C-alpha cells in the first residue's frame, strides 16, 4: 500500500503474534535488566495466583510497532503514545490493529496519525489489552514480516 492509497479511515493491515513465548520474555528481561520474576519464574508467581508469566509492556507495544513498520517501513515510526489496559500472559494470541485518523504534512513528509490497539483473541471475541495513537511517516519501504 503506498501513500496515495491511504486516507482517513484506512485500516492498517493487522499484525499477529500467535503465541506469546515465555522464552522471549526471559531474553527480554535480561536485555531490560528487569529483576522482577513475574516475567520469567513460574514458581515465583504461583503463590500470587498466576499460572502463566506476564509479558513485558514494551513487548506488547512492539507488536503494534511491528504492524506499523510492516505497513510503512522500518524507519517510519514518529511517535507512539499508548496505555495498557490488561496484562498479557504467555501463550496469548494477540492481534495488532490500527486505523488512520488524520494525514498531515510535517517537516516535508506526509504523516498519518493512527488509532492503534492490541487485542487478545479469546475464542471468537477480542479483548483490548493496549490502546493508543501512533504517528507514522508515509511512503517508506515495506519489509517482509514474520513472527
Partner 1 sequence: MLAGPRLASAACNVIALRPMSDPSTGLAMTEDDLHTLVGRRFPGGTRTIAHWENWLLTDCTGFDQLPGGLVHPIALFHVPIQGAGTSIAELFEISGAQGAGSVGLDGYDWEYLAPMREGVEYRVEGSVTEVERTVSADTGRIADRFVYSIELTDPEGVLTARITNHWRIRR
Applying CB under 8 A, among 3, 22, 50, 109 the residue interacting with partner 1 is 50
Contact status: 96 vs partner 1 (CB under 8 A): no
Three cell numbers at 30?
Answer: 535480561
Applying CB under 8 A, among 61, 114, 116, 138 the residue interacting with partner 1 is 61
Q: Is the dihedral of CA 135, 142, 14, 7 positive or negative?
A: positive
Applying CB under 8 A, among 40, 55, 71, 112 the residue interacting with partner 1 is 55
Stretch that binds partner 1, among 3-11, 44-52, 98-106, 109-117 (CB under 8 A): 44-52
Q: Return the biggest CA–CA distance within the chain.
A: 55
Residue 105, beta-bridge partner list? 110
Three cell numbers at 120?
Answer: 487478545
Q: Is the dihedral of CA 141, 82, 51, 39 positive or negative?
A: positive
Applying CB under 8 A, among 3, 22, 38, 142 the residue interacting with partner 1 is 38
Contact status: 84 vs partner 1 (CB under 8 A): yes
Amino acid at each position: 500500500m503506498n501513500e496515495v492509497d491511504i486516507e482517513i479511515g484506512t485500516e492498517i493491515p493487522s499484525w499477529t503474534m500467535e503465541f506469546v513465548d515465555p522464552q522471549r520474555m526471559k531474553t527480554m528481561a535480561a536485555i531490560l535488566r528487569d529483576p522482577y520474576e513475574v516475567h520469567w519464574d513460574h514458581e515465583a508467581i504461583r503463590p500470587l495466583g498466576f499460572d502463566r508469566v506476564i509479558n513485558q509492556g514494551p513487548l506488547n507495544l512492539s507488536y503494534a510497532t511491528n504492524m506499523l513498520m510492516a505497513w510503512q517501513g522500518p524507519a517510519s515510526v514518529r511517535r507512539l503514545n499508548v496505555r495498557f489496559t490488561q496484562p498479557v500472559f504467555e501463550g496469548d494470541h494477540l492481534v495488532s490493529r490500527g486505523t488512520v485518523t488524520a494525514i498531515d504534512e510535517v517537516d516535508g513528509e506526509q504523516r498519518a496519525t493512527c488509532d492503534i490497539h492490541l487485542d487478545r483473541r479469546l475464542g471468537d471475541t477480542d479483548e483490548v489489552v493496549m490502546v493508543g495513537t501512533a504517528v507514522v511517516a508515509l511512503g517508506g519501504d515495506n519489509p517482509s514480516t514474520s513472527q
